[in-house]
Amino acid sequence: MGEVYRAEEVELGRTVALKLLPRQLAEDQRFRDRFLRESRLAAGLNHPHIIPVYRAGEADGVLFIAMHYVDGTDLRRLLKQHPEGFDPDRALTILEQVADALDAAHTAGLIHRDVKPGNVLIVEGGRRDHSTRLWALFMLELWHRAFVDDGGAAALARAEEAGAVAV
C-alpha cells in the first residue's frame, strides 16, 4: 500500500525514502490520527537495525513518512537471486539482526505485525554487525487492513489494551 520514492529532504540536504499513502487514507480521521501517533512512537526508536523515521505528516491531502534511505535491497529480492540459499553464517547474521530489531521494538512497547522478507533491507558490503535494517513503519499496510477487517481491528484493540502499540 502506497509508494516509496527516493527523495531529497531539502531543509537538511539528505536523501530519504519517502512513502506516500493512498489519498483516501487521509480522509479517514481515525486512520490519520493513529498513523501520526504511531509514527511519532516509531520515530523514537533508536537502533542500528531499525530504519530511523525522520518525519511524518500530511501534505496536500496525502499522508507521508520520510525515513532514512537505505542503499541496498530487500531480503525478498535477495532470496530470489540466490535460490540455492545463503551461507549458514550469513543467514544466521540476518536472523540475529532482525531478532535484535524486533526485541528493541518490543522493549519499547511496539509490536511489528508484518515481518516478512520484503520488509528486511540488506546493505551489501555493509559492516557485518550493521548490514540489516528493518523498516520501522512497514506496519502501514496492516493499519489499513485493521480498519477494513474486523479481525484486524480486534487484534489492534487487544494489543492496545495490553499496553502495546501495533506497528
Residues belonging to the active site: 114
Separation between Cα atoms, residue 22 and residue 34, nearest integer Å:
15
Q: 164: which DSSP letter?
A: -
> Per-residue b/e over 101-139, b at no fewer than 16 CB within 10 Å?
bbebbeebebbbbbeeeebbbbeeeeeeeebbbbbbbbb
CB count within 10 Å of CB 44 equals 11
Strand 62-68 vs strand 14-20: parallel, antiparallel, or unpaired?
antiparallel
Strand 110-111 vs strand 165-166: parallel, antiparallel, or unpaired?
parallel
Give the cell for residue 139: 506496519
Separation between Cα atoms, residue 41 and residue 160, nearest integer Å:
13
* Chain position carrying cell 496536500: 60
